[in-house]
Amino acid sequence: MDGINRANVKAGLQVLIVLKKDQHSGKLTEGIVKDILTKSPTHPHGIKVRLESGEIGRVKKIM
């Protein structure tokens, strides 16, 4: 599943996100969703989340 639809993203899910600093390289960071930051139901670049580690990025893949 991808992270474009907010309904697919829930707290506690393991996801791959792209951090702001890694957008040019496309490097993905794995973690557990703590908070969902995007308010709209969809976002073309992925729903923005905060991981339990405190990192913030857009969901590229739901594990």
List the CATH number of the domain containing 38: 2.30.30
CB 61 within 8 A of CB 42: no
Within-domain flag for 24: yes
In the prediction, which pLDDT does 59 show?
A: 97
Within-domain flag for 52: yes
Q: What is the domain extent for residue 56? A: 6-62
Distance CA 10, CA 27 (A): 22
Identity of residue 25: S
Identity of residue 3: G
In the prediction, which pLDDT does 2 show?
A: 83
Express each pLDDT in 8-59 by its tens digit: 999 999 999 999 999 999 999 999 999 999 999 999 999 999 999 999 999 9
